[in-house]
Structure 1
Amino acid sequence: MVNQDTDKLQLQEQFSDILLVLDKKKKKIEVVKGIGSDNKLQTVTPDKKNQSQFMRVDKHGDLFSNFFSNFLHQLKDPTHFNFFRVSARDVITVAKKIQNAVDSSSIAGKKLLAQYEIKTDYKQLNKYNMETKQSTSEVGEYRFKLEQIDWKAMSNMGINKERLEKMNLIDPLLKGYKTNELVPISLNLGNAVTRMDARLSLQSNDEGKVIVAIHGIRKEPQLNFPFFGHEFTKEDKDNLLKTGNMGRVVNLTNPKTDEIIPSIVSVDRLTNELVALRSNLIKIPDEIKGVKLDEQQKQSLMDGKSLYIEGMTSKKGEPFNASVQFNADKRYVEFLFDRSNTNKQSQSQQQSRSEQQEVPRTFRGKELDDQQYQKFKEGQTVYVTGLVDKNGKDYQGYITFNKETAKTGFSFENPNKTNDKAQSKGNSEAKNSEATKNGKEPEKAAQEKPKTAAKSKVPKM
């Protein structure tokens, strides 16, 4: 057993890195443990006794980049820290060297820090947001091929081809778009598994390799940092928070080419990412809900502004008035309603979909039929036959899905009947207790009378 644990630890050390962090105020090197529910960084001292608490990160380059980007977005006040990436094998030794370098502030010490430090440009944390929308082909064209997808990287996130096909997400990925809904993913970090909902997209890195980009959920849009060279004004921020669209065209700078690109900016309402779209890719329809747009109205929408339209006709044939605006993330003219209510409804629907997607269809190799699966999703107990144990013998039992823990419970006996018996017994005890309080003789157990009767009928030998 000891050898197995040792082998497992050595395997983890071989394929994982550890995050060290320097608090700029405390000037102290610690090991990242995780992020708390309050979005504050959790750390431990770099000692052997704390090794089991070290958060391990997969060495895979693209996976690490995605993880670290989402890690920073979740973290409260990330600019207060410097992060260092160290091999799991050398973490304690290197941590001491880095602490000495911080204390000494020598030239040699600065070189050591640069060797392990993760360079983070907080101004460019949203780099995928421009690449996804600026370089995407026209609607209907495919930017990527199915064989270019790195399915190994997808597998590391708990995703496979069959799952994406069932969710109808392959087509938008190949066209260069983000998935139109959140996908539950998991990142195995050795001693910890991070689960999150995220939108996915395919990107080409500097070497031309197709990688998977993870667009995790942010607590709020990053409006206090420059966005591709653009500083948000108070009006910009108010518009983005209120309607999800900035409301004007601004010049953004492509970080790779330094090209100045007139663009509009919107908020991805599923993840709170900021998304940019070239203004020359904006397509305005000639007519919206039965109302033909004149050139002035079209130009107003082209400029990213909102437009109030009267006399439109709904699908039910009823007239209505509403404001519309072009959304950079959706790439079409949308109706503007109360965004706070829309967000709550969207999150509720998305949570419901995620819960349904995570409910397994099979249990121990046995696939549930439609009726069983429906009851199982609702949390009801389902009787399953045809299960096979390790020795090849058939068995059967009862399964129940716990929505809170997302785990499946198994029992050889029907847990509902067990609960009924317990409840019946409890009711009987309560009844006797009440009788005692009222000065009455508690009821005798039902089986006591038959015992007495049976005893009197036993013939004498």
Structure 2
Amino acid sequence: MEQEFNIVLVTDKNDPEKKLKGIKGIDKQGTLETFSLEDAIDPRQFSRFDKSLNPISLAKNFWNLITNPSNYLFYSVPEKQFEQLKNAPGDLKKYEANDQVKSLIKELAPMLDESKINWKALEKWGITKDDLVQNKSLPDMLKGNGSKELMNVNIEIDGVKFSGQARVFLDLNKDEIGFKLRTKIDIPYITNFHGEKFTREDNANLKKTGNLGRIAMLQLGDKVEPCFVSLDRLTNRATYMRVSSLKRKENHRGAPISDEAWQSILAGRAVYLTGMKQKDGTFVDGYVQANAEFKGIAVVRSRQQQQTTQQSYVPQKFRDQTLSDMQHEILSTGGTIILYNLNCSDGKNRDIFYKLNAKGIVKLYDANHPANRKLFEEVIRCEAAYKQKHGIADDSQNKQQESSKKGRKI
């Protein structure tokens, strides 16, 4: 007999139109990733469940990760009735599954019992529960992650006082929940991690992007398992995530991930995605990679650039032209700008692109060179993001037209 499946649909209580959406997954922030029912072609695009509502395509802790499940109304709909519901939603009350979902949250992935946490053990290090609550670290720590920031540690041993900073993790290896502290190291260089030997190239990758860039076979208990390895951004210490725990995603921040790209991600490599939506509503392109610290996929950011950009100096003026406030902010934050008709050192006037390189040094690129013309798209995106951030009307389309008239290909 063919097994019957349901799909769970949701409506967001904060959505004035109360549109029905299917569940695709959940991001690290605990926000449901949904797909419009109107745009769906096949019910298998959504997460499918057996009739008892036990998830078959998601990790067991899926429900527990939802930050605000009370914000949603849940409906469990037989897969066979998908087309009918899509074309004429009608009365959804008979499909309501809110009580089932609440029960499932409690049954499958209960939060850690805070009553078992030995807070007095933490206080010996000069850190209190209130400290972790105030910096919003506790919810993440209850899910197995570390504190959101380095905590000030103060302890006295035999009359000698010690102080420093460390990232705090819950220690779940005993019945009574304790704590683990990881201090920061300035220059990480790893030769052996859980039995896996790291090369100079491996360490160079970790230093540059924070990710190993390949799969490591780690000795975890009595098993050797394929894992992603990354550096903790706060402590510079290595951390891992099993490859088997990374669930297939169709997109990242709305940018589609092809099957070929997904295979590269599973191999630990970075892939380039276009059209990733940011919190401010703007869209960016860039590389993403499996990240062991974030327990999922994350944008690849140059650690070297993050460390050096803060120390880099962006002048207010280049030769005969003074940067506008917009141009200076864009360039200072790693974006790309263009200066028109700039008087260059050889006495000729040119249009020049400027951007920071990985070392935080301002580099220039001839805008008339065919290989650099694509940078004009970066200029447009950077200016659009700046204007949206500061509430300024965007005239990038006019700029594109003006550029085309000058013979510049976009």
Q: Under a length normalisation based on structure 1, what TM-score does the superposition of the two structures give?
A: 0.41
Which structure would you say has the larger Rg?
Answer: 1
Q: Which has the higher contact order (CA 8 A, sep 6+)?
A: 1
Greater fraction of residues in strand: 2
Greater fraction of residues in helix: 1
Q: Under a length normalisation based on structure 2, what TM-score does the superposition of the two structures give?
A: 0.46
